[in-house]
Structure 1
Amino acid sequence: MGDNNQEGKMKFLLLVTSNPFSKDYNTVFKLAKELKNHGEVVIFFSGNGAYYILRKECKELHDLGIRMLYCAHSVHQRGIEKPLDFFESSSTYNLSRMLPEFDKIIAFN
């Protein structure tokens, strides 16, 4: 980890498994926006975090250039049929393969 990018910018992963109605919601948004000023930000939603993919206000993060992925299995388990189109379908397997790319990983659960 650490020497992944040439410009000295860091790469951050926010792993969100708490639902968007929890106390973490505002923290996730504010932290993601602030971290974007310091590098690349990816948010991965899994477990109850899958419910974020129904929240239209997440488009603001997408518009800032924050990549947002979700665990397709978690979405299926929760009966979510139509994720908003700015989220990317992924898996925990893909997440495990991506982990070495990040300088910092912060989990919300």
Structure 2
Amino acid sequence: MKFLFIVSSNPFSKDYTSVLKLARELVKKGEVIIFFTGNGAYYTIRPETEEFKRLGVRLLYCAHSAHQRGIKEPLPFFESSSTYNLSKIMLECDKVLSFN
């Protein structure tokens, strides 16, 4: 199975722990992709998010959201993307979960 999380909440919200726990379990069942947008773009500068990468999760972020928030250099394990690309990825996934 292919799972997509869309995260628009900031990394200091209660969602961080939920997203991490879900990702840990779902990577055992298939591919996990997390798309960070809105305030979720702040995840791209938080070193603790490397845990997602170690789990084998694909990490994408909305470049426009990052630019709006003044994020110039996301951590190297994040992939720059767009909401257009998100719409294409959503069609390929079996389950989509949103955290905002």
The alignment's TM-score, normalised by the length of structure 1, stands at 0.89
Once the two structures are aligned, what percentage of the paired residues are identical?
Answer: 66
Report what 1:96 is aligned to: 87
1:14-68 Cα offsets, whole Å, 9 max, x none, are 0000000111110011111111011100000000000000111111211221100
Q: What is the DSSP-based 3-state SS (H/G/I as helix, E as strand, rest coil) of the residue aligned with 1:106?
A: strand
Shift of 1:69: 0.0
Residue-pair matches, total: 100
- Structure 2, unmatched stretches of 5+, are none
Which runs of 5 or more residues in structure 1 are unaligned?
1-9
Structure of higher CA gyration radius: 1
- Equivalent position of 1:83 in the other structure: 74
Does residue 41 of structure 2 align to residue 44 of structure 1? no
2:65 is matched with 74
Which amino acid letter does the alignment assign opposite residue 39 of structure 1?
G
- Provide TM-score, normalisation by structure 2: 0.97
User: What residue is the counterpart of 1:12 in the other structure?
Assistant: 3
Q: The residue matched to 1:93 in structure 2 has which SS?
A: helix
Q: Following TM superposition, where does structure 1 have runs of at least 4 consecutive aligned residues deviating by more than 3 angstroms?
A: none
Of 12, 21, 34, the match for 2:25? 34
Provide the aligned C-alpha RMSD in A: 0.7
Distance 1:22 1:58 in 2: 14
Corresponding residue for residue 48 of structure 2: 57
